[in-house]
Structure 1
Amino acid sequence: MVVVDKLANALRLTAVDEKAAKAGLYKGMALTDARAQFERLDIAFASPRKDAVLLEKLADWCDRYTPIVALDEPHGLILDLTGCIHLFGDENSLVQDIHKRLFHSGMIVRSALASNPAAARAFARHSPGGNIAMNDETHRLYTLPLLSLDIEETHLASLKRAGLRSVGDIDVLPRAALTARFGASLVDRLDALFGRQDKPITPRRIVPVCLVERRMAEPLVAMESVEQILLSLSDELFHRLQQRVEGAREVEACFFRADGDVRRISIQTGRPVTETRTLFRLLKERLSTLSDPLDAGYGFDIIRLAAVLVERTQAIQRSLDNRTQETEEINTLVDRLSIRLGSSRVLRAVPVDTHIPERAVLMEPAIKAKSDTSFEWPLGSHPDNPPERPIRLFQPAERIEVTFEVPDAAPARFVWRRVQHIIVLAEGPERIAPEWWREHAGALTRDYYRLEDNKGRRFWAFREGLYERGDPAPRWFLHGIFA
């Protein structure tokens, strides 16, 4: 069997199976040449997108071994097993478990265990792999071919013409000469291979701050038992967080099925959660609102609870009758509504430091808004006095036709939505200039007025443009209505 793809306007082999490799077919060979040698070929067309999806699923599956998993596209994965090996006995047992499980799923992989990601990648791709002993790692790296450096083809050809064939042949050369001839990238890759340069991997998921899990001797099928395990894991998670004087703002529950499927359920809260009862109630609420209900299938062999985002906790002030404050009840309601309806549908108004009225408030998800957000009353007004600005504004402001005695004065009457309003009282103007650092060149200064008509209705209107400056055709708009 061969896999083909269109490369350089020709169909070429991108992968071959074991039989095809033994018969002399190789990666990069033209399909016409392969057919000339063998009439019967099982041909499959390459699908990089499906390969990427499969690699993502394998990465999710590998989370059962470590939370630090990185993609090494197009065909590889890098796992940081630091601190995780004791869960499986030793390094050999862990690697054997990975190979065994993937073999039962119809996949054959090659792996290598080394002291750093670059060395492990090179051993897995350009050698038989295996568990590389620390005292033998340098010697094994010296025997790797130049291809393991992943350098440009032109540099690779130049090194081979100079009689260099292995990594060891290059490592003994002076660094200055290598940098001058081939650039700093070659030296950087050499240093990364031998661990002289610290290049940590980039995990595809945020590494949890605190993590607890249960590994089942037999796959767990009953959902009632799953809830009991979640309750037990919540107790253990919060016990660890209490020792750190922290509460969880985001918790992720992971369910690893025996058939390799992984389900993740995320819980976000507007305040640090420190109690099992609160988290368990939110988890049950989230499970009940899933469009694709959680299905145990062949059973869960691992259930994990991880605190992804944490925050320092503070003592909650209780009232004299031992009831929580009203803000605590509101926060609980916000959390439940956000889980049931989605965080993008439960919003909270957050003040913005700007003097432009329509930008003074920003709507953000309520669970993400800071609890210490304060609001300053505009222009020195006081909450006990009548408001100087309406609470709700028109977006955008609506155009009105205005009649006035003097061009720069307040309007005497205006027409809005085909209804005429005669003004008996006007206050202003309040002049607001555009934000020159973000406005376009055509933005004009506004003069705002608080108006009251003969029927007692109060409006907030502004004139865009100033006659005294010679602005072309100043216009009037109604921006809001007072209650």
Structure 2
Amino acid sequence: MLSHREDNTQRIAAMNEAAEALGLRVGLGIADARAMHPDLEVLEADPVGDERLLTRLADWCDHFTPLVAIDGYDGLLLDISGCAHLFGGEDALLQEVVRRLAAQGFDARAGLAPTPGMAWAAARFSGRAAVNIPAGGEGEALTPMPLAALRIAEEAQRKLESVGLRRVGALLNAPRGPLVRRFGRLLVTRLDQALGLVEEAISPRLPVPPLSVERRLGEPISLLDDIKDLLLLLARTLRQDLERRGEGVRQLTLSLFRVDGVVSRISVSTSRPLREPQAIALLFREKFAVLEDSLDPGQGFELVRLAAASTAPYVEKQEDLHGDAVVVEDERFSLMVDRLRARLGDAAVMMPTPAESHIPERQAEFMSFRDWVRQPARSGAHRFVMNGRGSGGAAAAVQQEEVTWSVSPRPLRLLARPELVEAAAEVPEGPPFSFRWRKALYRVSRAEGPERIEPEWWREAAISAARDYFRVEDMEGRRFWLFREGTYDGETMPRWYLHGLFP
């Protein structure tokens, strides 16, 4: 028996069949229950653990349908429309669910019906482990059930019982008007939902992927190499579906269903629509390299599913004389970035984008490569430098236009935040002739400047004063970008900062 605190009183939250046989009921105070049966074993309920377990069961129910919703703290709703034939029919599927749950140690009750309300009532009040209510049989099945089968509040049940209405059958032929006026519209709505007169939709806990392929295995697999081989076969099947739709994948999820009900999900995303099975397999190999030690196969995986969680239109590529698609440099670069992101995370590859600011540290913002290529088209193609060469990179892939940053010479390396230095300079506005940065003293041989940058007066977090920037070179040829904040006015001394380093 499990207990929980309600209104400063410990009450029964759940109990087994032995406790039910003693005449106890959920909601009864623990003190009253012990007074009747002193030998009761009572444990504290664990709502967080129950929720975690129910979520795990919902993952496992993806075996049967992608439309799985969590119902309260003790139930699941599965929409099996179009799925039953895969398991030999509705009755076979129903028995399979109950059998598999029993094998995992659960005492489950299952109801199958044309409506969610009727299935909910059948699972809880039919008195059978598994019951299938045929279409048109909702009224007959509901007649002997208690009012709680309608999913109404306890207060409404007590009001109905006070006037002699104790079973759902007493409400089926009753005039609707008086029921609504006296007991509220929810009562009639719940009744009509169970009967199928009012449509009731369920909200799946996970979005349904537009495309998915799976392989059910007669013998469970546990070796990573077997999973990789099977993944490649699934990717080839998925490619055929994508070609028919004229699409490519942007996000993929590999679901591995263990024999004991544990489900592992591995997701990768792409910077451009992708179809090629080998490229998909490469992305997942990077994921496996990271997850290899944490991916526990247990007694093996019995179902492997590859789902295209997100798709986008795919632009066909010109084939060469051998019939193979021509892979351009842009695609190679995008695939390399996707592999890095799969292994190291989205933040592993960041792209600079212009920002609406003239303050040096705010002129560019960094975003993940995946978000960068999804930006709306600009005027011109972005260009970048890699390994010292200008490259179109992902520019052609995203079909963006060139953006020119017209700024005065800036250092190649800009510090994330300007660092305070101790500088000696000519008064009142001359360049520094020496400065100390990170405990090292640098003597200036040449200087160029100043370049004044005013604060952004329209921003609340604007810099406090104008900056005068100098490009300086020390005795050993090292070049720095420093600025003076403030001026010599006789009362306050300006502060000097190092902001960047030139090559």
TM class by shorter chain equals: 0.7 to 0.9
CA contact (8 A) 2:446 2:474 kept: yes
Pair 1:250 & 2:251 matched? yes
Q: Tell me how far apart the structure 2 counterparts of residues 354 and 94 of structure 1 sit (CA, whole Å).
A: 59
In the TM superposition, residue 208 of structure 1 has moved relative to its aligned partner by: 1.6
Q: 1:444 aligns with which of 464, 469, 476?
A: 464
Is the counterpart of residue 332 in structure 1 residue 335 in structure 2? yes
- Residue from 476, 497, 501 that aligns with 1:477: 497
Contact 2:69 2:78 in 1 (8 A): yes
Give the TM-score taking structure 2 as reference length.
0.78
Query: Gaps spanning 5+ residues in structure 2: where?
Result: 374-393
**Distance change (3 Å), C-alpha of 1:452 and 1:239:** same
- Distance apart, 1:26 and its partner CA: 1.4
Aligned residue number for residue 359 of structure 1: 362
30 and 177 in structure 1: CA distance in 2 versus 1, 3 angstrom threshold: closer
Q: What is the Cα deviation at residue 196 of structure 1?
A: 5.9
Q: Which letter maps to 2:404?
A: W
| Bigger shift: residues 394-403 or 311-320 | 311-320
Q: Tell me by how many angstroms 1:108 deviates.
A: 1.8
- Give the CA deviation at 1:97: 0.6
1:90 aligns with 2:89: yes
Equivalent residue for 2:451?
Answer: 428
Gaps of 5+ in 1: 382-386
Match of 1:76 in 2: 75
Q: Which moved more, 1:364-373 or 1:302-311?
A: 364-373
C-alpha distance in structure 2 between counterparts of 1:404 and 1:308, whole Å? 63
Aligned-partner residue type, residue 481 of structure 1: L
**Distance in 2 separating the partners of 1:358 and 1:143:** 73
Q: CA deviation at 1:76?
A: 0.8
The alpha carbon displacement at 1:313 in A equals 1.5
In the TM superposition, residue 143 of structure 1 has moved relative to its aligned partner by: 6.0
Query: Structure 1 residues 390 and 143 mapped into 2: Cα distance closer, same or farther (>3 Å)?
Result: farther
Contact 1:448 1:460 in 2 (8 A): no
- Equivalent position amino acid for 1:331 in 2: S
Letter in 1 for 2:418: A
Q: How does 1:30-49 map to 2 (within 5 A)?
A: 30-49=29-48
Match for 2:137: what amino acid? D
Name the structure 2 match of 1:396: 417
The change in CA–CA distance for 1:328 and 1:320 in structure 2 (over 3 A counts) is: farther
Deviation at 1:351, TM superposition (A): 0.8
Shift of 1:24: 0.8
Q: What SS is found at the alignment partner of 2:176?
A: coil
CA distance in 2, matches of 1:318, 1:421: 60
SS of alignment partner, residue 315 of structure 2: coil
Name 2:376's counterpart in structure 1.
Answer: none
Correspondent of 1:348 among 347, 350, 354: 350
Aligned partners of 2:455 and 2:464 also within 8 Å: no
The 10-residue stretch of structure 1 (314-323 or 363-372) with the greater mean CA deviation from structure 2: 314-323
Amino acid corresponding to residue 392 of structure 1 in structure 2: R
Residue in structure 2 matching 1:376, options 398, 403, 416: 403
Match of 1:51 in 2: 50
AA matched with 1:53 = R
Query: What is the CA-CA distance between 1:259 and the residue it aligns to?
Result: 2.8
Cα shift readout 1:161-218 (whole Å, capped 9, x = no counterpart):
455545673984339954xx77776676566545566553332223222111122334
Q: State the percentage of identical aligned residues.
A: 34
Q: Give the deviation of 1:333 after TM superposition.
A: 2.1
CA distance in 1, matches of 2:239, 2:320: 25
Give 1:113's aligned residue.
112
Aligned match of 2:171 in 169, 172, 188?
169
Please give the alpha-carbon distance, in whole angstroms, between the structure 1 residues aligned to 2:266 and 2:434: 56
TM-score, length-scaled by structure 1 = 0.81
| Residue type of the alignment partner of 1:394 | L
- Change in Cα spacing, 1:458 to 1:174, as seen in structure 2 (3 Å) is farther
Classify 1:239/1:79 alpha carbon distance in 2 versus 1 (closer, same or farther; 3 Å). same
| Alpha carbons of structure 1 residues 205 and 419: separation in structure 2 relative to 1, 3 Å | same
Deviation at 1:248, TM superposition (A): 1.7
Pair 1:461–1:119, CA change in 2 (3 A): farther
| Contact 2:117/2:194 (8 A) holds in 1 | yes
Distance 1:391 1:147, change over 3 A: farther
Q: CA deviation at 1:297?
A: 4.4
| Cα drift, residue 282 of structure 1 | 3.0
> What corresponds to 1:384 in structure 2?
none
Q: Which amino acid aligns with 2:79?
A: D
| Contact kept? 1:462, 1:479, Cα under 8 Å | yes
- RMSD across aligned C-alpha pairs, in angstroms? 3.9
What amino acid maps onto 1:310 in structure 2? T
Structure 1 residue aligned with 2:390: none
CA offsets per residue over residues 393-419 of structure 1, 9 Å max, x none?
22211234574655xx67565735254
- Residue 99 of structure 1: how far off its partner (Å): 0.8
C-alpha contact 1:12 1:28 (8 A) present in aligned 2 = yes
Matched, 1:124 2:123: yes
